[in-house]
Amino acid sequence: MAKDIETERGHLNPLPPSNPCDCEEVMVTVTSTAGFRIRKVYYSMPSRFIGYRLKARIFDDQIELFHRETRIEILPRGHRTHRPNVIDYRHVIQYLKRQPMALAHLTYRNELFPREAYRHFFDQAMESVSERQACRLTVDFLALAHENGCEAEIADAIEASLRTGSLPDVESLRTRFAFKEHSMPRQDVAVGNLGQYSNLFGNRLSP
């Protein structure tokens, strides 16, 4: 058996220097719309990367983006037939705060909403108030969710109000989920008497 193994080993090729990568690498440029396309799928990016040329590693379920050798973003993989736009509302919320009416005409608006509750609110608001108010209120909720880190809590509050047939009040939720700064606890440090060290070590410290 050992002899057969040695015979076969002589016919083996050397192993590659590293493990083969199970991804495809391409270069992308972040356009003025703060996004890029890969295989007809549009991906949003933070606006600070506009104009950057990035290396994208395409896996089955995600895309990793690198600037030089630093990984800066991981995005879920989209598909042109069932997910043609991969949008993170946090990437565009500052733009929407400046121009909330843009929400009404975004081609990727439905993909923008992080949870169904936000889409339900927008649809209901469009029927109950003016288009301008609906956009303004929806953007306010998205901004509050992002800035205070309470996306799920805001969504639950929205759904609870919609079930009663009324629109939630953004100001009451702003107060309810306001970011609270916690002061640092006071630390009282007692400074020891240096003479205690002499007692600890006895006369060995004495001249």
- Helix H segments across the chain? 2-9, 89-98, 109-112, 116-128, 131-148, 151-163, 170-176, 195-201
The 8-class DSSP code of residue 181 comes to: P
Distance CA 204, CA 23 (A): 68
Provide the whole-model pTM. 0.71
Contact 173, 141 (CB under 8 A): yes
What pLDDT was estimated at residue 15? 66
pLDDT value at residue 134? 96
**According to the model, what pLDDT value does residue 93 have?**
94
What residues does each domain of the chain span? 24-86, 89-176
pLDDT for 37 equals: 95
CA atoms within 13 A on the CB side of 128: 14
From the first residue on, what is the mean pLDDT of each consecutive set of 10 residues in the chain (207 residues)? 74 67 89 92 93 95 94 93 90 93 92 95 96 96 94 95 93 84 62 67 56
Exposure of 154 by Cβ count < 10 A (0-12 exposed, 13-18 middle, 19+ buried)? buried
So what's the pLDDT on residue 86? 95
Instruction: Give helix 89-98 / helix 131-148 axis angle, nearest 10°.
Output: 130
